[in-house]
Structure 1
Amino acid sequence: MQTPRITVIAPMKNEAENVGRLADEIAEACAPLAPFECIFVNDGSSDDTSGAIAAARQRHPWLREVRHAASCGQSAAVLSGVRAARAPICCTLDGDGQNPPSEIPRLAAPLLADATGRIGLVAGQRVDRQDTASKKLASRFANALRRTLLHDDTRDTGCGLKAFPRELFLQLPFFDHIHRYLPALVKREGREVALVDVSHRARDAGASNYTNIGRAMVGALDLVGVWWLIRRRKVAVVVSEDA
């Protein structure tokens, strides 16, 4: 197989009903970006997500599965997908179908065109978010607090639609829920963040694996930790190097 230009990564936990549609939409959206590959990371699902992925692979030979023995969370699933990726650019989206795959080319375009290597992240920001009022309110509060402390200038870091250089992601300090702090961590590395407004849609099948209270509890600790990482960052400027 040709080396893919991009790898699309979708974390999945108990998303058997969403696998087929998502794979078909990725096929249509990414056709202009060929060659590409897609990795569905099965994060310890207890339903037939693995069987649904196997069925989708019969139609789409570029589709791969990475399977966790037990559920480790979204960030760990993204990391497993990035480690397994064969392309220099990775694009992520949620496995629940709420992130339209049609947005993937818009995320990949700035990185594919970036000859300077300055861009370290293209982050989607949801417009007209299709979620419950309580979830949107909790997200709005968390985003405002994060922007105040981290100065990452990003309206919506919780959006699953993101694109980044594989090599850079693997250099970042990893922790659970890192996906919500990628803009701040990428800027910490001296790289630019490009923001793209993206559409959002309601979940058609399955159930959310998150609660507002659970997100708030881990988010408070993560926010302090990322704030500390940014303040402790030192960049050495090399003025000479012997061969």
Structure 2
Amino acid sequence: MTLLSFVIPCYRSERTVAKVTEEIMATVTARPDVDYEIIAVNDCSPDGVLGVLKTLAKQNPKIRVISFAKNMGKDAAILAGYKAARGDYIVNLDDDGQCPACELWRLLEPLEKDACDCATAKYAVKKESRFKRLGSRLNAEMAHRMLDLPKNTRMENFTAVKAFVAKEVIAYKNPYPYLDGLILQVTNRIADVPMEERERGDGNGSGFTLRKSVHLFLNGMTAFSVKPLRVASVCGMVFAALGGVWGVATIIRKLVDPTVTEGYSSILAVMLLSSGVIMLLLGLIGEYLGRIYICLNGSPQYVIRETVNFPAEEDPARENGHG
């Protein structure tokens, strides 16, 4: 019998997560050859989602709950779920009802046929705000250029992977996890499955903020690629070359026409531009160094406060994100 593990990162979803679990159960129980487990990870949500999850777990022992001690982000929550998963395939989906869980079998079809190692939904129209759409596009473009994500592929909130992929992903101990990059480190056999994204079950916005967008962008840009540092080196060489050309041109002009006045405005403009670029590149290098320092300190990806429906020998709280 095939075992499916569903990982649901939960944050501000007390009104929607129960419907998500109900749809999962209704979809899976239609196949007698498939069993399931649901791992709901409470990312220290400030609403009553933990109480809802405990009630669901009490009603169904196949629903297991992990609760973080502090908010660590969606990707960390998914990694905690991956680590606790026992299934042949692991499916992660959002807690707001936007992911069409009823399309599960279409998502799993290319995995079962061994056509890929990871299958992700491909939405023709994204049900999201303009601001979130812009952030998503920027992060997707970053993934294409920095992480070699195949063109026309976009890792979505409804994704399924084979067990070996999840096993390799959870071996990553960096406190700045970026799930898309981790999966791409393991495999590039990724399939897109067209389907339609739904509206949020509670009718509210996604809670997506500029801070989260920047955090996700930096995680993807610095965790798996040194291309930004190479760009910094190229910028340094370009500006050095331009400075040399400018200096030679200034000397020649002075020799040809000694009456030429000094261009203080242009010199000031060049100095301000070059200084700004230098500060930007120093900040980029500092970001890399800061993350290296935090990694060397052994900071955990997450800290688990409590769990529900886990036997003692499988309780993920024993390791608490340190691996």
Bigger radius of gyration: 2
> 2:12 touches 2:45 (CA, 8 Å); kept in 1?
yes
Structure (1/2) with the larger helix percentage: 2
Percent identity of the aligned residues?
A: 22
How far, CA to CA, are the matches of 1:124 and 1:198 in structure 2?
A: 6
Q: CA deviation at 1:124?
A: 1.8
Could you say which residue in structure 2 is the equivalent of 1:112?
A: 112
Q: Does 2:8 align with 1:10?
A: yes
Q: Does 2:144 align with 1:147?
A: yes
Q: CA deviation at 1:4?
A: 5.5
How far, CA to CA, are the matches of 1:98 and 1:177 in structure 2?
A: 23
Shift >4 Å, 4+ stretches: none
Could you say which residue in structure 2 is the equivalent of 1:204?
A: 201
Deviation readout 1:144-181 (Å, 9 max, x if unpaired): 34213333215453511111123322323354342233
> For the structure 1 residues 42 and 213, does the alpha-carbon distance in structure 2 shift closer, same or farther, using more than 3 Å as the test?
closer
How far, CA to CA, are the matches of 2:52 and 2:183 in structure 1?
A: 33
Q: How does 1:1-243 map to 2 (within 5 A)?
A: 5-31=3-29, 32=31, 34-114=34-114, 119-155=116-152, 157-172=154-169, 173-175=172-174, 176-182=176-182, 184-187=184-187, 192-205=189-202, 208-228=206-226
SS in 2 for 1:16: coil
How far, CA to CA, are the matches of 1:98 and 1:35 in structure 2?
A: 23
Give the superposed CA RMSD. 2.5
How many residue pairs get aligned? The number is 221
> 1:157 touches 1:180 (CA, 8 Å); kept in 2?
no
How far, CA to CA, are the matches of 2:131 and 2:92 in structure 1?
A: 25
SS in 2 for 1:52: helix
How far, CA to CA, are the matches of 1:163 and 1:215 in structure 2?
A: 23
> For the structure 1 residues 83 and 141, does the alpha-carbon distance in structure 2 shift closer, same or farther, using more than 3 Å as the test?
closer
Give TM-score, length-normalised by structure 1. 0.79
Unaligned runs of at least 5 residues, structure 2: 228-323
> For the structure 1 residues 11 and 130, does the alpha-carbon distance in structure 2 shift closer, same or farther, using more than 3 Å as the test?
same
Residue 83 of structure 1 aligns with an amino acid whose one-letter code is: K
How far, CA to CA, are the matches of 1:89 and 1:166 in structure 2?
A: 5
How far, CA to CA, are the matches of 1:83 and 1:160 in structure 2?
A: 18
> 1:158 touches 1:179 (CA, 8 Å); kept in 2?
no
Q: CA deviation at 1:182?
A: 4.7
Unaligned runs of at least 5 residues, structure 1: 230-243
Q: CA deviation at 1:105?
A: 1.9
> 2:11 touches 2:44 (CA, 8 Å); kept in 1?
yes
Give TM-score, length-normalised by structure 2. 0.61
SS in 1 for 2:141: helix
> 1:10 touches 1:92 (CA, 8 Å); kept in 2?
yes
